[in-house]
Amino acid sequence: MNSSEDRSSIFLGGDIFERRELLRVCHVLDIDRIVGRDEEISAVVHALGPGTRGSPPETTIIYGKTGTGKSLVTRCVSRQAQREAESHDTDFRFAYVDCSDYQSDAKASREMARQLSDAPDTQTNIPRVGIGAANYRDITWELLDTHDIDVFVAVLDEVDKLDDDELFRSLTRSKESGKSDAHIGAICVSNKIEYRDRLNERLDSSLQDNELVFDPYDADQIRAILENRTDAFVNGALEQGVIPKVSALTAQEHGDAREAVDTLYEAGRIAEKEEASTITEEHVANAVQQAEINRFKQLVSGTTPHVKHILRTLAILTADNPGQQSFSTSEIYEAYTKLIATEGATPLSEDCVYRLLKEQSFLGVTESEHTGGGHGEGRVANRVCSERSRVNGGRHRAPTRDSDAEGTPRTGARAPHVPAHILSTDRLAGRCTDDVSWNTVHRRKSR
Ligand SMILES: Nc1ncnc2c1ncn2[C@@H]1O[C@H](COP(=O)(O)OP(=O)(O)O)[C@@H](O)[C@H]1O
Ligand SMILES: [Mg+2]
């Protein structure tokens, strides 16, 4: 067999996906793919409905945890509103600005103007830099008036990422300030319920009437969402237990549909790579494990070298003492100083190590439990934690007063729904290269 024959099949993989785009989170689905959000869809329809007939849309604020369908519902309904408006001879436009990509007032305002100017009839060159946020907004208002646009809605997704409220404020006041003749509305979306208080403090109380909260999904809803996407796979590729398993795992945490869809997709990719003909529950377990490793790596990659040394110490202790559930701060400190000596570095003080462990616990990388007394006497038990919801929750969780009170080792409280999983594998204590490398693998039987 010559080499060209060898390579003729390099693009042939497993026969798993029929329409993989249906499982990509960036894909905006058709509205009829949305499952179990009828009330929320109606509420957004109610807010945008007047706009489709040339009346002012209602400004609305949407809250909810990640993966509860906020972005999906808002985008789908906005798109649908634009179509509906056409049938009423109303020129309705919307701009969808993901503020996590455009965090400054100027960037978000520019993006709003850019989207409006992108349509064939409104083509305008928007300067990339050199003008301020207010100028970008003025361009937007001018475009609306020049092109006789009746209604404009700005969807500000992840609005809490914006460094100030100016854009939102100007959208809600553009009419009364005589900036534009168009009816202008805003839909703000936030993953943080605390954002409500911030807005209420600063903005008009009339907005409080238009708040919408998206609750987390339960296992049945997640299951229905996934079952409505099975045409992403070729017929017969999904084994029976796969969707129930993904749904149960996701619902154990906070019912995040994004995570469920991602897990199903990853399971499919693993099966495809293995050239398997079906996706099994084993593929799901592998996908979950891989996601944990990725999240863990991501969390750890942003830390300082000393934090990495401390985490590595804890990982080595965990790997070397399979029967031991947790380690006291003084045990960790002793092992840490030995490790640091082999690296030729100067150790931090025990207090410092204790504080850093506490921080990592708050972020969900480790778990700490206060067992009474001072930290130096072994009364704070620490363990490495790869538990997904803690890692995930930690990443998104702002240090609020409440969570601080609940989440630090001093109180020993844990996320209520989370059993403690201990990382344990020979790959766990990945050896130091130029930097500490974490190659953590979840103990598989613990799930
Ligand atoms: N009700 C639903 N029906 C179908 N898919 C959903 C639903 N809710 C969420 N999803 C899926 O989960 C992903 C994440 O949802 P998204 O709207 O981005 O969540 P949020 O904005 O609340 O964080 C979406 O891309 C979609 O694939
Ligand atoms: Mg979102």
What are the residues facing 94 on neighbouring strands?
153
- Rounded CA gap, 149 and 147, in Å? 5
Query: pLDDT-derived band of residue 375, with 50, 70 and 90 as boundaries?
Result: very low
Q: Say if residue 274 is in the same domain as residue 191.
A: no
Distance from residue 402's CA to the centre of ligand 2 (Å) = 24
Q: Which atom of ligand 1 is nearest to the CA of 23?
A: 27
For ligand 1, whether the C-beta of 67 sits within 6 Å is yes
Look at residues 254, 277, 296 and tell me which one is the last residue of a structural domain.
296
**Cβ proximity of 57 and 209 under 8 Å:** no
For ligand 1, whether the C-beta of 69 sits within 6 Å is yes
Q: Say if residue 129 is in the same domain as residue 175.
A: yes
Q: What is the CATH number of the domain that holds 281?
A: 1.10.8.60
- Rounded CA gap, 292 and 95, in Å? 35
Query: pLDDT-derived band of residue 255, with 50, 70 and 90 as boundaries?
Result: confident
> Judging by DSSP bridges, how do beta strands 380-384 and 327-328 pair with one another?
antiparallel
Q: Which tokens hold the place of 114?
A: 């850019």
Q: Say if residue 64 is in the same domain as residue 160.
A: yes
Q: What is the CATH number of the domain that holds 150?
A: 3.40.50.300
Q: Whose CA is nearest to atom 18 of ligand 1?
A: 71
Q: Say if residue 292 is in the same domain as residue 322.
A: no
- Rounded CA gap, 201 and 391, in Å? 31
Distance from residue 71's CA to the centre of ligand 2 (Å) = 4
Query: How many folded domains does the chain comprise?
Result: 3
The pLDDT of residue 118: 85
**Cβ proximity of 332 and 354 under 8 Å:** no
Look at residues 196, 214, 232 and tell me which one is the last residue of a structural domain.
214
Q: Whose CA is nearest to atom 13 of ligand 1?
A: 258
| Residue-wise pLDDT tens digits, 350-365 | 999 988 988 887 777 7
The pLDDT of residue 327: 86
Task: Find the DSSP H helices in 53-132.
Answer: 70-86, 105-116
Does 151 or 357 have the greater pLDDT score?
151
Q: Which ligand lies nearest to the CA atom of residue 161 in the structure?
A: 2
The pLDDT of residue 429: 36
- Rounded CA gap, 389 and 131, in Å? 42
Q: Say if residue 78 is in the same domain as residue 153.
A: yes
Query: By mean pLDDT, which of 4-8, 260-264, 344-348 is the weakest?
Result: 4-8
| Residue-wise pLDDT tens digits, 4-31 | 556 666 565 558 999 999 998 778 888 8
Query: By mean pLDDT, which of 147-156, 194-203, 332-341 is the weakest?
Result: 194-203
Distance from residue 271's CA to the centre of ligand 2 (Å) = 28
Q: Say if residue 99 is in the same domain as residue 36.
A: yes
Q: Which tokens hold the place of 372?
A: 């009474």
Q: Say if residue 85 is in the same domain as residue 232.
A: no
Torsion sign, CA atoms 28, 30, 34, 38? positive
Share above pLDDT 90 across residues of the chain, in percent, rounded to a whole number: 49
The pLDDT of residue 426: 31
For 314, residues 6+ apart whose C-beta sits below 8 A from its C-beta are: 327, 332, 357, 366, 382, 383, 384
Compute and round to an integer the Cα radius of gyration of the chain: 26
Tracing tokens 């409905």 back to the chain, one arrives at 49
Residue 333 has pLDDT above 50, yes or no: yes
Q: What is the CATH number of the domain that holds 422?
A: 1.10.10.10
Query: pLDDT-derived band of residue 444, with 50, 70 and 90 as boundaries?
Result: very low
Look at residues 257, 279, 296 and tell me which one is the last residue of a structural domain.
296
Q: Say if residue 307 is in the same domain as residue 170.
A: no
Mutation choice for ligand 1 from 28, 63, 72, 231, CB with most ligand atoms inside 8 A:
72
| Residue-wise pLDDT tens digits, 167-197 | 998 998 877 777 888 999 999 999 988 777 7
Q: Say if residue 347 is in the same domain as residue 393.
A: yes
Q: Check the annotation: does 96 bind a ligand.
A: no
Return the beta strands (E) in 99-182 as ranges.
Answer: 151-157
**Cβ proximity of 273 and 279 under 8 Å:** no
Calculate the average pLDDT of the chain: 79
Q: Whose CA is nearest to atom 7 of ligand 1?
A: 69
- The conformation of residue 274, written as its DSSP 8-state character, comes to T
Residue 116 has pLDDT above 70, yes or no: yes
For ligand 1, whether the C-beta of 185 sits within 6 Å is no
Q: Say if residue 10 is in the same domain as residue 28.
A: no
Task: Residue 9: give the domain boundaries.
Answer: 3-16+220-296
The pLDDT of residue 419: 24
Residue 421 has pLDDT above 70, yes or no: no
Q: Say if residue 196 is in the same domain as residue 59.
A: yes
Q: Say if residue 78 is in the same domain as residue 166.
A: yes
Mean pLDDT along residues 407-430: 28
Does 48 or 345 have the greater pLDDT score?
48
- Rounded CA gap, 417 and 48, in Å? 37
Q: Check the annotation: does 263 bind a ligand.
A: no
The pLDDT of residue 12: 57
Which range has the top average pLDDT, 208-217, 250-259, 282-291, 395-404?
Answer: 282-291
Q: Which ligand lies nearest to the CA atom of residue 70 in the structure?
A: 1
- Rounded CA gap, 344 and 137, in Å? 56
